């Protein structure tokens, strides 16, 4: 813990931490030392972790990297973080993210952008760490935490993991409790870890998962020993390759990386099966209706009364308006506008209802595919990490980053991103494995072979 605290201060340039809690960390580490001395070590005893700023942590600010949560210090602990502390983990601090988890670069954070510790060979240009869990991914990659919590609504664990050469898993919807996680889109949000290796991710996942009376969408199923699933044996496993993921204009290096993954799995004895997921092309537009709709509703609670920032006005309505105008960043405002529009009486049927129908069809696509395969292999992202501060004026261009990941959230399935080598510029690349509901074990086992 001491060496991590030193390393964190030495890596300020990355801007990965928005809140550092060194005193708390040392106190927790001391308690862990005492436990170890007594022979009472728990599974994560003394392991120093970073926590995405979207998790409520008792007595430590939780801002979701938004100005509107200025000064908000939760009175309670999220279930996921409590589970980690109950297993002996140590908290190093809170990690940067896109504001309210909306974004793919961590540039929408109120606390400024995070730098990816990776750069292209021979270049001095900073790259984005991906998003929204960019602080988590950058911190794990830079070795300024042993592992980190993250969250994934449309790819926010898997895409930053792919951009930083780390492992990230979004488990099945319901595997982790969402209680105490600041909500973005409640029917899509899931907690998960970002870690250095598949084994580390498996160990963290086991601690994070639980059924919870405080989240009725959490599922009462035994949590398997994910680490034990890492047998390395995938002989006879059927791996689906969906043709619809071979999208137009897919860069050569992404295609080559995917083929490499196919070859590795084949060499390990897996059987490769061509499959079709015909609804894939509708996933992104449907996601960008469902997610903003839920976000607009979830974010209605930030009104200057209950949480964080208040900007005084002439009357209460004026106060609400001034607070929300000053407190939310432009991407969040865009999502609120889209969300309220698609939910409004005149447009509900045309947009929201249709998107929900598409969501059912996407789910059915996967159900059909999983009748003949055990897991599905796809690229994790359509490119490696791009440059920081790149002028992207069209928001849709940014949304295209999520093309391979959003389907998984729409269907509630588990997805893991695993490092699969580097591109021609020496930047990390990632592959995604998608699994059947609650079959994270197959993902860990297969990812262990690809790693
Ligand atoms: N990039 C996606 C979005 O902006 C996904 C975000 C997420 O998974 N939290 O909505």
- 62-113 pLDDT tens trace: 999 999 999 999 999 999 999 999 999 999 999 999 999 999 999 999 999 9
104 lines ligand 1 (CB under 6 A): yes
Three-class SS of residue 168? Answer: strand
Q: Give the Å distances, CA to CA, from 228 to 188, 198, 224, 330.
A: 28, 12, 8, 45
Question: What is the CA(317)–ligand 1 centre distance, in A?
Answer: 30
Question: What is the CA(180)–ligand 1 centre distance, in A?
Answer: 19
Quote the pLDDT of residue 390: 85
Determine the angle formed by the axes of helices 252-267 and 440-450, rounding to 10 degrees. 100
Atom number, ligand 1, closest to the C-alpha of residue 409: 8
Pocket test for ligand 1, best of 105, 153, 293, 405 (most atoms within 8 A of CB): 153
Quote the pLDDT of residue 223: 98
Do 161 and 154 touch, CB atoms closer than 8 A? no
Quote the pLDDT of residue 303: 95
Q: How far apart are CA 149 and CA 157, in angstroms?
A: 9
154 lines ligand 1 (CB under 6 A): yes
pTM comes to 0.98
132 lines ligand 1 (CB under 6 A): yes
132 catalytically annotated: yes
Quote the pLDDT of residue 377: 98
Pocket test for ligand 1, best of 100, 107, 131 (most atoms within 8 A of CB): 131
Question: What is the CA(443)–ligand 1 centre distance, in A?
Answer: 22
Quote the pLDDT of residue 145: 98
Do 404 and 380 touch, CB atoms closer than 8 A? yes
Question: What is the CA(248)–ligand 1 centre distance, in A?
Answer: 22
52 catalytically annotated: yes
404 lines ligand 1 (CB under 6 A): no
Catalytic position from the list 66, 109, 132, 420:
132
156 lines ligand 1 (CB under 6 A): yes
Quote the pLDDT of residue 21: 98
Domains in the chain with CATH codes: 2-229 (3.90.1300.10)
291 lines ligand 1 (CB under 6 A): yes
Quote the pLDDT of residue 397: 82
152 lines ligand 1 (CB under 6 A): yes
Do 319 and 310 touch, CB atoms closer than 8 A? yes
156 catalytically annotated: yes
Quote the pLDDT of residue 362: 98
Q: How far apart are CA 54 and CA 183, in angstroms?
A: 8
A 10 A CB-CB count for 123 gives 12
pLDDT digits (tens, 9 = 90+) for 147-195: 999 999 999 999 999 999 999 999 999 999 999 999 999 999 999 999 9
User: Parallel, antiparallel, or unpaired: how do β-strands 238-242 and 17-20 relate?
Assistant: unpaired
Quote the pLDDT of residue 73: 97
Please, which residues have CB within 8 angstroms of residue 376's CB and are 6 or more apart in sequence?
Answer: 239, 240, 241, 242, 275, 369, 433, 434, 435
Q: How far apart are CA 410 and CA 329, in angstroms?
A: 26
Burial 380-404 (b: 16+ CB within 10 A, else e): bbbbbbbebeeeeeeeeebbebbbb
Atom number, ligand 1, closest to the C-alpha of residue 104: 1
Quote the pLDDT of residue 134: 98
79 lines ligand 1 (CB under 6 A): no
Residues of the chain with confidence (pLDDT) below 70: none
Burial 405-439 (b: 16+ CB within 10 A, else e): bbbbbbbbbbbbbbbbbbbeeebbbbbbbbbbbbb
Burial class of 141 by CB neighbour count within 10 A (0 to 12, 13 to 18, 19+): buried
In DSSP terms, 49 is beta-bridged to 91, 147
- Residue 160: which region, alpha, beta or left (left: phi > 0; alpha: psi -120 to 50)? alpha
Question: What is the CA(369)–ligand 1 centre distance, in A?
Answer: 25
- Tokens 């993210």 sit on residue: 97
ipTM above 0.90, yes or no: yes
């Amino acid at each position: 813990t001491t060496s991590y605290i030193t390393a964190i201060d030495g890596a300020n340039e990355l801007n990965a931490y928005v809140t550092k809690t060194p005193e708390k960390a040392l106190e927790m580490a001391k308690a862990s030392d005492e436990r170890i001395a007594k022979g009472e070590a728990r599974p994560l005893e003394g392991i120093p972790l970073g926590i995405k700023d979207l998790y409520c942590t008792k007595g430590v600010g939780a801002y979701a990297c938004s100005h509107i949560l200025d000064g908000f210090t939760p009175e309670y602990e999220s279930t996921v973080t409590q589970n980690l502390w109950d297993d002996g983990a140590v908290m190093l601090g809170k990690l940067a993210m896109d504001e309210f988890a909306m974004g793919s670069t961590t540039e929408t954070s109120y606390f400024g952008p995070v730098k990816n510790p990776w750069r292209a060979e021979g270049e001095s240009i900073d790259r984005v760490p991906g998003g929204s869990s960019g602080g988590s991914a950058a911190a794990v990659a830079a070795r300024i935490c042993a592992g980190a919590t993250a969250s994934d609504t449309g790819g926010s664990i898997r895409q930053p993991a792919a951009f930083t050469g780390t492992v990230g898993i979004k488990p099945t919807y319901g595997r982790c409790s969402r209680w105490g996680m600041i909500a973005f889109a409640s029917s899509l949000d899931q907690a998960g870890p970002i870690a250095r290796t598949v084994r580390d991710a498996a160990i963290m996942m086991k601690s994070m998962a639980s059924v919870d009376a405080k989240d009725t969408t959490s599922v009462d199923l035994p949590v398997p020993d994910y680490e034990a699933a890492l047998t390395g044996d995938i002989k006879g496993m059927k791996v689906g390759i969906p043709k619809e993921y071979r999208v137009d204009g897919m860069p050569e290096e992404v295609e080559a990386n995917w083929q490499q993954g196919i070859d590795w799995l084949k060499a390990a004895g897996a059987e490769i099966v061509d499959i079709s997921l015909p609804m894939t092309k509708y996933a992104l537009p449907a996601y960008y209706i469902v997610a903003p709709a839920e976000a607009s509703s979830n974010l209605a609670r930030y009104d200057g009364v209950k949480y964080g920032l208040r900007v005084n006005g002439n009357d209460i309505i004026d106060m609400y308006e001034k607070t929300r105008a000053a407190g939310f960043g432009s991407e969040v405002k865009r999502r609120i506008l889209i969300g309220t529009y698609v939910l409004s009486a005149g447009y509900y049927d045309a947009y929201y209802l249709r998107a929900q129908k598409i969501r059912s069809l996407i789910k059915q696509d996967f159900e059909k595919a999983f009748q003949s395969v055990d897991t599905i292999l796809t690229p994790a992202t359509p490119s490696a990490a791009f440059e920081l501060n790149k002028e992207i004026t069209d928001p849709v261009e940014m949304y295209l980053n999520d093309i391979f990941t959003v389907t998984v959230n729409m269907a509630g399935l588990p997805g893991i991103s695993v490092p699969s080598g580097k591109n021609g510029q020496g930047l990390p690349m990632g592959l995604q494995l998608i699994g059947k509901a609650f079959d994270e074990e197959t993902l860990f086992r297969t990812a262990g072979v690809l790693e």
